[in-house]
Amino acid sequence: MNSLFKTQVSKTRKNNSEEKNDGWIWWKHGVIYHIYPRSFKDSNNDGVGDIQGIIEKLDYLSGLGIDAIWLSPIYDSPDFDFGYDVKNYRKIHPVFGNLEDFKLLLNQAHERGIRVIMDMILNHTSHLHPWFVESSSSKNNPKRDWYIWRDAKKGKTPNNWKSTFIGSAWEWHENTQQYYLHSFLKEQPDLNWRNEELQKVFFEEIKYWLDIGVDGFRLDVINLIVKDKKYRDNPSIFRFIDRQEQLYTRNRPASYKIVRKLRKLLDQYKDKVSVGEIYSTPPGNPSIAASYLGRGNDALHLTFDFSLIFRRWNARSYYLAIRKWLQVIPKKGWPCFVFSNHDLHRSINRFGTGANKEEKAKITATLLLTLKGTPFIYYGEEIGMHNVKIDRKDIMDPLGKRYWPFYSGRDSARTPMQWNPEEYAGFSNTKTWLPIDTNYQANNVLAQKDDPSSIFNVYKKLIGLRKEYEALKKGNWTPVSKGQNGVLSYYRDLKKERIKVALNFSNKSKIIQVSNSFEWKILFSTHRAENNMMSRKITLAPYEALIISKISKKNIKKL
């Protein structure tokens, strides 16, 4: 570790210590920004985003108010599944740069008070990883049991387990005359986490990055890492694409033991975080996601529940999903919220085809940044980037290639960031790895920065309010209007601070009321001027998002 880096780590730890004195914990109270590195910024004009490109945009992220970034995988990979098939956990993929570039990113991010979270893929590796090369070399190889191998059953696959990417999860290996398990592509063989030697070695891979200074990990499909010991058949269900309930291939009791071991490892370091992807098929299963938090202090720090992503535009439906998620969080646990990511389509495209998409995007931004819990923003959401229709010839995602035209894959939510109206949207100076949205000349960061009513400035304002008001970071969440009439409203309370958030999901004006025992000041509105005082009865405009704060009557003259 070079001296500059040591100095910066020391500074960061000192800052963390000071932050804890006032109860601020970065992964709880900060705002986390999800970067898909291939699509964020290309610094060397090869059409693919890279680490140096992220470094170039750190001031942008700092100016937006971001406290941490989560990077989708940047490890060395043959890219059968674009980084989620890891060949070497300790090497940076050359397309993104090298280890020195990554250390520079850590330094530069930490200097700006921005933490760095890496993606970590525990369920499987690439079939080209040295571990699997050895494991597949013979039945007697010492690493044979590091992966899941089974004999054929009456000349067929060992059981009926299906891959998440459709088809059997078993691949026949001719050389050793056994099947190996792959929950995704055949090029992604599943590790055997029941093997304690494998556990020990993999934890060393995690420690390698912690020792370098990484601030935590987002754990890919962490609830899949242990499979049924008896290899029982999964029950069949009748659902498009997913025809099988993943009863014996996920959420096994042993997986909880492993995440508790991981928590103990992380707790040996200061201020680290683990974020678990706990995917459940629509409409989601918040109870399962919450179960990986343990008692709230002995398992994962955060877990994703995708129930809100699966909801249609309906205030009542959103309320019920939020209430359920907050109800199942353990007493010592902490929720987080997300509306989009690299696997699921962008939020603005789920709002229908009407003319109110931008207004709805501002409402969801307000919801995301004022709920009790850690907000995760997927890159480009802050300017309302759309899913992009990808022609068949341009599809990169293996799922899109395999299932086109029935399913075009995940590329549409992974297109390059739109920075400015220049050719290639300021992302690159050459043809990009995925097509850029045709709307980039009108919809880009540069254009939105100068528009005070833009989605970008809504995000920036909301993040600023979240930093300014303790109630928005740490306060209780008390629902008031529960969505029955198209309005979702709630209080955020902490000590003397009381803030009310009101969101009109409908295309009609709605009336809400507030207490007249004190006065209310507008902190934020998508439809009216800020800092004005409010009367007891408030008429919300169609699709208005409103945030107001109580003001004691003796302080009114100061405004």
Catalytic residue IDs:
220, 277
CB atoms closer than 10 angstroms to residue 450: 9
Q: What CA–CA distance (Å, rounded) separates 34 from 374?
A: 13
Judge whether 410 and 399 are in contact, CB under 8 Å: yes
Count helices and strands (H / E) in the chain.
Answer: 15, 21
Q: What CA–CA distance (Å, rounded) separates 316 from 304?
A: 21
**Which residue type, as a one-letter code, is found at position 207?**
K
Judge whether 300 and 263 are in contact, CB under 8 Å: yes
Cβ neighbors of 460 (< 8 A, separation 6 or more) are: 63, 64, 65, 382
Q: What CA–CA distance (Å, rounded) separates 150 from 161?
A: 13
Judge whether 190 and 152 are in contact, CB under 8 Å: no
Tokens found for residue 278: 């706990």
For residue 171, which of 136, 131, 195 has the smallest C-alpha distance? 136
Buried b (16+ CB within 10 A) or exposed e, 129-144: bebbeebbeeeeeebb
Q: What CA–CA distance (Å, rounded) separates 251 from 262?
A: 16
Q: Is residue 173 within a helix (H) or strand (E), and if so which, with residue range?
A: strand 170-173
Packing angle of the helix pair 455-468, 357-370 (nearest 10 deg): 20
Q: What is the DSSP letter of 228?
A: -
522 beta partners: 548
Cβ neighbors of 118 (< 8 A, separation 6 or more) are: 70, 71, 73, 74, 209, 214, 216, 217, 218
